[in-house]
Copies of this chain bind each other. A is one copy, B any other.
Amino acid sequence: MRMSEGVEWSLHCCVTLAGLEGGGPVSTARLAASFELPAAYLNKRLQALVRAGILSSTPGARGGFQLARPPERITLMDVVAAIEGTEDVFRCTEIRRRGAGAEASGASGASGGSGGSGREFGRPCGISTAMRKAELAWRRELAAQTLAEVVAATPASAVERTRRWFASERRTHT
């Protein structure tokens, strides 16, 4: 089980845009060059971030992407959900109702009860509940961390270097 590389790309691009805040839109080509990523693939991720309301895009020669709202209001969970979706990583397919459980499940449906199995299957099983609880802990941590906090924790030298790099690229390309 592995998260797609698009999550790492998207997180780094969003943190970069947060660090450049107020610098105007940045093109896919520039963002791709700044991390040596394939521009066409990166663009798909950036479009997904636009659809999720995390980035806004400006058309035209001087257009590009910027954060759609302040970095204090964008969490890592927002970015991960935009790329990976919001479905649970563990998905219960209710195998407990099959085989040994099928008789109870069927009897319950047909006659209204074989000793509480209707109630039993009406509740999520203990495995599904425990797996869900763990995923919520994961989501809670990601939702507690904003882009602004990641930028604040980044060494000032790195933020400054990124700003210089994008400023010089801008001069070169426009």
Is A35 touching B96 in the complex (CB atoms < 8 A)? yes
- Which residues of A in the span 86-122 have a Cβ within 8 Å of any Cβ on B? 87, 89-93, 95-96, 98-104, 115-117, 119-120
Q: Which residue of B lies closest to A89 (CB)?
A: B3
Q: Does A158 reach chain B (CB closer than 8 Å)? A: yes
Is B89 touching A12 in the complex (CB atoms < 8 A)? no
Residue of B3, B12, B117, B135 near A95 (CB, 8 A) is B12
Known: A99-B35, A137-B137. A90 touches B155 (CB 8 A): no
- Which residues of A in the span 117-132 have a Cβ within 8 Å of any Cβ on B? 117, 119-120, 125-127, 129-131
Q: Which segment, of A48-56, A63-71, A140-148, faces chain B? A: A140-148
A-side interface size class: 35 or more
The distance in angstroms between the C-alpha atoms of A1 and B135, with both chains bound, is 13
Q: Does A40 reach chain B (CB closer than 8 Å)? A: no
The distance in angstroms between the C-alpha atoms of A56 and B145, with both chains bound, is 42
In the complex, which residues of chain B have a beta carbon less than 8 angstroms from the beta carbon of A142? 130-131, 134
- Which residues of A in the span 131-164 have a Cβ within 8 Å of any Cβ on B? 131, 133-135, 137-142, 145, 149-151, 153-155, 157-158, 161-162
In the complex, which residues of chain B have a beta carbon less than 8 angstroms from the beta carbon of A153? 126, 129
Task: Given contacts A1-B1, A138-B138, list 5 more A-B pairs with CB under 8 A.
Answer: A5-B93, A100-B161, A104-B158, A120-B155, A137-B140
